């Protein structure tokens, strides 16, 4: 959780909980879905989100804990139809397993998006949501 407040026109932010590590090596992203773009999307998202949201630097030092990401499942199903039977909303589901050191977490995320939003944008949003949920979960445990 991040707490933010304004004091004397300065914004302060504090994260609740601590992380069990401050540096990780991204060693593997395995994609078991039929969507080939997930590896690249996760790769860039990890490098953007871990330092800013989790205060965890991704490094190349092999002596650090490694992070393995296993994308297990991705689904997009119609959720709501309009009066003409056209799909109005889709429900997206993403199941990802994260392994690092002694931490094994499986994060299931689902979100509902309008059919007017591109699937790539929905995937990007779902990936960010999933990674942040992982970081929030391990932050709560430590």
Distance CA(114)–CA(20), nearest Å, equals 38
What pLDDT does 10 receive? 56
pTM over 0.85: no
Residues 6+ apart with CB under 8 A from 81: 87, 88
What pLDDT does 11 receive? 54
What confidence category does residue 39 fall into, taking pLDDT thresholds of 50, 70 and 90? very high
Number of other residues whose CB lies within 10 A of the CB of residue 127: 22
What confidence category does residue 1 fall into, taking pLDDT thresholds of 50, 70 and 90? very low
Closest CA to 130 of 112, 107, 104, 98: 107
**What are the pLDDT digits (tens) for 94-113?**
999 999 988 899 999 999 99
The domain spans of the chain are: 21-141
Number of other residues whose CB lies within 10 A of the CB of residue 87: 13
Asked if residue 128 lies in contact with residue 53, where contact means CB atoms within 8 angstroms, the answer is no
**What are the pLDDT digits (tens) for 47-74?**
999 999 999 999 988 878 899 999 999 9
CATH class of 21-141: alpha beta
More confident residue, 12 or 26: 26
């Amino acid at each position: 959780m991040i707490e933010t407040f304004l004091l004397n026109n300065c914004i302060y932010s504090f994260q609740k909980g601590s992380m069990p590590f401050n540096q990780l090596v991204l060693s593997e992203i395995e994609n078991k879905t039929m969507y080939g773009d997930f590896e690249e999307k996760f790769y860039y998202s990890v490098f953007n989100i871990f330092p800013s949201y989790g205060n965890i630097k991704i490094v190349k030092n092999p002596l650090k804990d490694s992070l393995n990401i296993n994308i297990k499942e991705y689904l997009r199903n119609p959720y709501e139809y309009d009066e003409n039977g056209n799909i109005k909303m889709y429900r997206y589901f993403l199941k990802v397993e994260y392994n690092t050191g002694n931490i094994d977490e499986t994060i299931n995320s689902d979100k509902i998006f309008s059919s007017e939003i591109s699937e790539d944008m929905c995937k990007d949003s779902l990936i960010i949501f999933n990674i942040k949920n992982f970081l929030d979960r391990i932050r709560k445990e430590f």
